[in-house]
Amino acid sequence: MFMQKKTVKCTIIGDSCVGKSSIIERIINATFLDNKETTLGACYHQTKELINGISTEIQYWDTAGQERYNSLIPMYLRNADIVILVFDLSFVNSIESVKKWKKMTDQMLSSKNSKLIILGNKLDLSNLVNKKKIQDILSSIQYDYYLEVSAKKNTNINTVKRYIKLISENIEPTHNTNIIIEKLHPQTKKKCC
């Protein structure tokens, strides 16, 4: 018996401290850590699930936002099927950086049919940047989905997961395998590099 299999590469980018790792932590482990340490280089996680009868491995590359790691980002963007670009809804500089990250994404993925999800994180905070500023920046770039979320309060994270699943459904299976996977649970693996 053959089981179809596919791999989906999902890369998460954005300024340091906007909450990229916290969002991934919510997606993978359904938790939030108040004292999350800054990411060095990048962190890799993967989940395996059965989507429409196809064994689907979603590979998450959680990149470091600190400027000294910027030169590594193109490597993690290469061949990404999904790019999640995060900014902090309470910090105007991180919103202005969206254009820089989008440019980097376009340079790496110009010929690939990848999807861009933009997330404004920290919706739980009271000092949010005014919506007009956000709209002005978002209206000047192209993207597929935009959502405001809170990794801390778990707001809209399930919708992000639903988008990732929906996009994954439309990605062609890469190859067949005769390995029969009896039962697929959502599984996680964590490896920092």
Ligand X SMILES: Nc1nc2c(ncn2[C@@H]2O[C@H](COP(=O)(O)OP(=O)(O)OP(=O)(O)O)[C@@H](O)[C@H]2O)c(=O)[nH]1
Strands (E), the chain: 3-13, 42-51, 54-63, 82-88, 115-121, 145-148, 175-177, 189-192
Distance of alpha carbon 65 from alpha carbon 97, whole angstroms: 11
13 vs 98 by CB, closer to Mg ion? 13
The yes or no reply on residue 121 touching ligand X (CB under 6 A) is: yes
The CA distances from residue 9 to 22, 97, 170, 180, in Å, are: 19, 23, 13, 22
Q: CB of 151: closest distance to ligand X in angstroms?
A: 4
Longest dimension (CA), the chain: 56
Q: Is 19 left (phi over 0), alpha (psi -120 to 50) or beta?
A: left
**Contact letters for ligand X, residues 72-111 (x by CB under 6 A):** ----------------------------------------
Q: Which of residues 31-60 bind ligand X (CB under 6 A)?
A: 34, 36, 38-39
| Token digits of residue 32 | 């939030």
Torsion region of 45: left, alpha or beta (phi above 0 gives left; psi -120 to 50 gives alpha): beta
Among 6, 9, 102, 122, binds ligand X (CB under 6 A): 122
Chosen residue from 20, 45, 102, 115 binding ligand X by CB under 6 A: 20
By CB under 5 A, residue 114 contacts Mg ion: no
Binding mask 2-41 toward Mg ion (x if CB under 5 A, else -) reads ------------------xx-----------------x--
Kindly state whether residue 125 participates in binding ligand X, applying the rule CB under 6 A.
yes
Least spacing, CB of residue 191 vs Mg ion, in Å = 14
Residue with tokens 């300024």: 15
CB 38, min distance to ligand X, A: 4
Q: What's the rounded Cα separation, in Å, for the pair 138 and 136?
A: 6
| Segment interacting with ligand X (CB under 6 A) among 50-58, 101-109, 112-120, 122-130 | 122-130
22 binding ligand X? (CB under 6 A): yes
Residues in the site for ligand X, rule: CB under 6 A?
16-22, 34, 36, 38-39, 64-66, 121-122, 124-125, 150-152
